[in-house]
Every structure is written in C-alpha cells, then in structure tokens.
C-alpha cells in the first residue's frame, strides 16, 4: 500500500501541471482596449480603406504584374469571401454607420458565394481593385490558375466568417449559412494541394478553430467534435516547424520552390493568413517560437526592404522575371512581429507602406495589427459562450470520498444542466455527475474513488448538448491515503509558488 501511495505521489508531482489539450486557443480571443490617441491617424486611415470597400461593393481579385511576360499574371484575394476576414478585424474600429454597412456587405457577399469552390473564377466578378485602368483584367489568370492557384488553400475564409460573427455579434448569419459553411469545410479542394481536409499550415489551422467556435454557437455537436479532433491533430503537427515549412513549400506553393524561384521568393507561405490564436500557440511553445522567428528573420535578411511592395528587387514573385514584392511578404511577417515577438507599435506602423489596390486585405490587416498594438490586448473568454466553469478549472488536487462544490457562471436563458467528469478530456471516457439539475451555478459533488491525473469536469445544457464549458486544464483525483503525504508536502508547494490547491473536504 505504501509503495502504491508513493508511486501516486511521484506521478502527480511529475504530471500535475498541464493545460487541457488546446482548449484555451478555442475558448479565448484577443480583446483590445485602451488604444492610445496617438494611434488616431491609423484608425482614420483604416476607416478610409474600409469605406472604399463599402463604396465599391463586391470586389474582384487583385491583379499584380510587374514583369515582362504579359501572359503570366499574378493575382491576390481570389478566394471568395476573403474580404470578410478584413472587415471582421476592422469592425470594432468603425463608425456605427459603417458597421451597419459592413453587415449588409457581408450578407451580399455570402449570397454570391460558391461555397464548394470559394474561388472567383473568372476573376472579373465584382469591382476592380487595381488603382489603374486595365482593359484585360483576366490577363494571365489561366497561367496562374494552372500553375499555382488551384493548389493554394482557400479555407482561411472560414476563420474570417467566425471573426466577423464574433466581433459583430452576427451569429444569425452563421446559422443561416451553416449548411454551406459545413459544405465548404468538408470539400477537400478548399484546403489546397493534393492532401485535402488537413488545414496543416500555421495559416490554415485556424479554420478548424473557427469551425469549433461556430459549431458551438449553432449547436452542431457532431461538427464540433470533428473539428476539435482535427484541430488537436494539426496543432500537434505544428510542433515540427521544419516539417510545416517543407509542406507549405513543396505541396501548396511548389511553383515558387523550383530551382529558378526558391531563392527569389520568401518561403514563408506557412504563415499566410495566420491568426492571433495560432500566433499565441507558437509563442507558447519555445522551440516553435525560436524557429518561427528565425525563419522570419531570414526573410527580412533576404529582402531588407520587405515592407515595400515595389522595392527594387528582381524576383519571380509578381510575374515571371519581374520586380518588386507582393503584399504577401509583409502579411507573412507582421502578424508574428505583433503577436510573437511583440514588436512596439511605432515600429509596426513604420512598416506600413501603401495599399497596392482597393481592398488590399493584407495591407489593411497589418494596419489593424499596428493600430491595436497601441492598446492593451487581453485574452478573453468568448463572450457569447453561455457557461463559464469556475471550479474545478485545472490544477486542483481532489481527494477521493470528499465533497467539492462544482461552480460555474450560470445564465438565465438555460433552465437545467447536466454535469459530467472525464479522465481523457471527454474523448471516450464520460462519467455522469448529475443530470437535469437546476442551473443555479453550483452543485455539491461527492468526489469518486477514481484516481487520475487527467480529470476534467463539464457543465452542459440539458436541452442542447452543444452548449457547454469544461475545465480549462486537467486536475487530479488522488486516493484518500495519499492525501496525507500531499498535505505534508504543502509547505514545499507554497515555497515553490505552485498554484495547485488540495481540496480535502469532509469524508462521508
């Protein structure tokens, strides 16, 4: 018995710390407050750029061509609904009148979307983005489509829809188009390359995160579980940074990795359309953070004037045998400077060059990164989630055969709840604590004699199983004899400033 107790103590000391598998990245989003007044010029510029989009209506892809081979054009923002991501980022910083106009714009954009394709083909649908007049707006389209465009991931638009819905509070739009959204999510070609349905780059894994959030809000538990499993799998893969770079270069953007192009284009494709949440994931994993910033620095060294889209570099980026850089270059760098390196806002603002055209999404989003860096960004729980579990919420040491009050923030819209616990984050092990109890925000739980280091509790709406919240991190349940040894170790825990707590209630 003594040997068994010491084994438990040793295992708990080794494993008691740890977050639940990536739940934090789903549950929290960055809320920016207190933006300094010296950032007002950035806000004013942002409003002008968004007003130009709203005045134009639906926008066609942006053609960029700084090359001598006219038959090989280069196009950006060919993904249908790509502009919605930009509008979502911008929404909190707009006037009330423009917010109303954004909501109408998004509805119109969704009405015209071909959800199973998400590609503006031909590229003449909508108003022109170019700042010049062109009589052949599709010139070079066939070449780019055949060589590259059909392999590029287009799934990031799902994060844009979720971002817009969250910032605008327009979850009704998601409900109205949920069947179309799930069609898009389940279509392999949306993910790019020949792999399909992976979302296996830093810039595309956010689509899985978005689907988890949207499925939660519309009450689709099946899709939520599928998306959560995909998210966990892909985030595990993102820990191998070099593999992700090779994957992005050799599969999704292979046209730019051949012997003629690879040294003339920054191979930072894995970062394109990266979200703050995935930047947070990179920042949380030291080895990935070091490798990612080293990769960014290599790109900056390759093109010292990387933020100038018409910098006089000979490249194969903006058309074969062309000059200048694509707006993709700063889009691969600035989000990591903002969310991983935490570059000062004045420097982020200094890296703003000029938009290449109307509705230049990458430029506008970098403008927003700079603007919000002048404020304080706090990782905040998703405001529309109906529950917020308070305890046990991770790190606690519970003693078998004692009582603990499970606590959560209740809402008046839900009458009754179910309570569960699990030893594997609800993947296969789900144990009932109570069923159909009043939603009072508290329930007295008699902790079972079921020792584990990976316990978690979940509170669920009795009427809708998709509406739920769970412990943010695992907690432990220890056998009652082992608790005495833990109490003797309490002073050591406090000395080490450990945040764990032992709940040793009255035995019954």
Question: Quick one: pLDDT at residue 61?
Answer: 93
* Containing structural domain, residue 259: 35-374
How many C-beta neighbours within 10 Å does residue 401 have?
A: 15
Spatial distance between the Cα atoms of 410 and 394, rounded to a whole number of angstroms = 19
User: Is the same domain home to 237 and 92?
Assistant: yes
Paired with 409 in beta bridges are 388
Confidence of residue 322 (pLDDT cuts 50, 70, 90): confident
Question: Quick one: pLDDT at residue 505?
Answer: 47
User: Is the same domain home to 358 and 394?
Assistant: no
Q: Are 270 and 247 in contact (CB under 8 A)?
A: yes
Last residue of a domain, one of 374, 406, 422: 374
Report if residue 446 sits inside a domain: yes
Query: At CB < 8 A and 24+ separation, what contacts does 228-236 make?
Result: 228/26, 230/197, 230/199, 231/22, 231/25, 231/26, 231/205, 232/21, 232/22, 234/198, 234/199, 234/200, 234/205, 234/208, 235/22, 235/25, 235/205, 235/281
pLDDT at 386 over 70: no
User: Is the same domain home to 82 and 164?
Assistant: yes
Out of 132-136, 159-163, 261-265, 323-327, the most confident range is 159-163
Q: Point out the least confidently predicted range of 61-70, 207-216, 496-505.
A: 496-505
Q: Point out the least confidently predicted range of 159-168, 213-222, 489-498.
A: 489-498
How many alpha carbons lie under 13 Å from residue 430 in its C-beta half-sphere?
A: 12
Confidence of residue 483 (pLDDT cuts 50, 70, 90): low
Question: Quick one: pLDDT at residue 320?
Answer: 72
Last residue of a domain, one of 340, 374, 408: 374
Q: Point out the least confidently predicted range of 373-377, 477-481, 493-497.
A: 493-497
Report if residue 28 sits inside a domain: no
Report if residue 189 sits inside a domain: yes
Confidence of residue 128 (pLDDT cuts 50, 70, 90): very high
Q: How does DSSP assign 477-490, residue by residue?
A: EE-HHHHHHHHHTH
Last residue of a domain, one of 374, 396, 430: 374
Render pLDDT for 99-115 as a digit per residue (tens, 0 to 9). 999 999 999 999 989 88
How many alpha carbons lie under 13 Å from residue 317 in its C-beta half-sphere?
A: 25
Nearest-Å Rg of the Cα atoms of the chain is 25
Paired with 161 in beta bridges are none
- Which one has a higher pLDDT value, 277 or 385? 277
User: Is the same domain home to 258 and 394?
Assistant: no
Report if residue 382 sits inside a domain: no
User: Is the same domain home to 220 and 287?
Assistant: yes
User: Is the same domain home to 153 and 242?
Assistant: yes
User: Is the same domain home to 357 and 431?
Assistant: no
- Which one has a higher pLDDT value, 185 or 216? 185
Spatial distance between the Cα atoms of 319 and 256, rounded to a whole number of angstroms = 11
User: Is the same domain home to 255 and 132?
Assistant: yes
Give the length of the chain: 508
457: its two tokens: 């509790």
What's the total number of domains in the chain?
2
This prediction's pTM: 0.75
User: Is the same domain home to 312 and 457?
Assistant: no
- Which one has a higher pLDDT value, 306 or 315? 306
Question: Quick one: pLDDT at residue 74?
Answer: 84
Render pLDDT for 219-255 as a digit per residue (tens, 0 to 9). 788 898 899 999 999 999 999 999 999 999 888 888 7
Confidence of residue 482 (pLDDT cuts 50, 70, 90): low
Question: Quick one: pLDDT at residue 5?
Answer: 45
Question: Quick one: pLDDT at residue 411?
Answer: 63
- For the segment 453-469, the average pLDDT, to the nearest whole number, is 87
Using DSSP, state whether 411 is helix, strand or coil: coil
Q: 3-state SS of 447-470?
A: CCCCCEEEEEEEEEECCCCCCEEE
């Amino acid at each position: 018995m003594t040997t068994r107790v010491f084994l438990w103590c040793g295992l708990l000391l080794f494993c008691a710390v740890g977050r639940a598998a990536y739940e934090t990245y789903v549950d929290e989003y960055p809320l920016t407050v207190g933006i300094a007044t010296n950032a007002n010029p950035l806000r004013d510029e942002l409003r002008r750029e968004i007003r130009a989009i709203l005045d134009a209506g639906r926008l066609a892809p942006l053609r960029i061509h700084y090359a001598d081979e006219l038959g090989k054009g280069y196009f950006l923002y060919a993904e249908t609904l790509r502009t919605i991501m930009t509008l979502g980022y911008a929404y909190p910083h707009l006037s009330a009148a423009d917010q109303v106009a954004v909501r109408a714009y998004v509805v119109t954009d969704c009405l015209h979307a071909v959800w199973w394709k998400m590609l503006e083909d031909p590229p003449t649908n909508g108003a022109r983005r170019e700042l010049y007049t062109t009589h052949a707006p599709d010139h070079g389209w066939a070449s780019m489509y055949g060589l590259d465009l059909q392999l590029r991931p287009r799934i990031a638009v799902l994060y844009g829809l979720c971002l817009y819905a969250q910032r605008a509070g327009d979850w009704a739009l998601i409900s109205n188009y949920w069947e179309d959204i799930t069609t898009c999510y389940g279509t392999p070609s949306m993910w790019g390359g020949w792999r399909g349905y992976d979302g296996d780059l830093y810039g595309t894994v956010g689509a899985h995160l978005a689907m988890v959030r949207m499925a939660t809000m519309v009450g689709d538990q099946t899709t939520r579980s599928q998306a959560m499993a995909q998210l966990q799998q892909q985030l595990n893969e993102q820990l191998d940074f070099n593999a992700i770079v090779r994957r992005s270069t050799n599969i999704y953007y292979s046209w730019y990795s051949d012997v003629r192009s690879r040294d003339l284009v920054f191979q930072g494709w894995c970062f394109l359309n990266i979200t703050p949440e995935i930047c947070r994931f990179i920042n949380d994993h030291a080895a990935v953070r070091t490798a990612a910033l080293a990769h960014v620095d290599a790109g900056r060294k390759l093109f010292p004037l990387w933020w100038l889209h018409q910098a006089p570099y000979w490249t194969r980026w903006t058309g074969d045998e062309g000059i200048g850089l694509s707006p993709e270059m700063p889009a691969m760098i600035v989000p990591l400077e903002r969310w991983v390196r935490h570059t000062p806002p004045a420097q982020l603002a200094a890296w703003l060059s000029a938009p290449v055209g109307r509705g230049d999404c990458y430029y506008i989003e970098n403008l927003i990164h700079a603007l919000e860096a002048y404020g304080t960004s706090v990782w905040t729980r998703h405001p529309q989630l109906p529950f917020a579990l308070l305890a046990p919420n991770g790190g606690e040491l519970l003693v078998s055969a004692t009582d603990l009050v499970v606590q959560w923030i209740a809402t008046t819209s839900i009458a009754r709840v179910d309570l569960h616990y699990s030893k594997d984050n609800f993947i296969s092990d789900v144990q009932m604590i109570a069923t159909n109890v009043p939603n009072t925000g508290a329930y007295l739980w008699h902790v079972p004699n079921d020792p584990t280091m990976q316990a978690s509790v979940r509170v669920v709406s009795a009427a809708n199983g998709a509406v739920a919240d769970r412990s943010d991190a695992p907690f432990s349940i220890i056998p009652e004899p082992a608790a005495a040894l833990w109490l003797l170790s309490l002073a050591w825990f406090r000395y080490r400033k450990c945040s764990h707590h032992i709940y040793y209630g009255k035995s019954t």
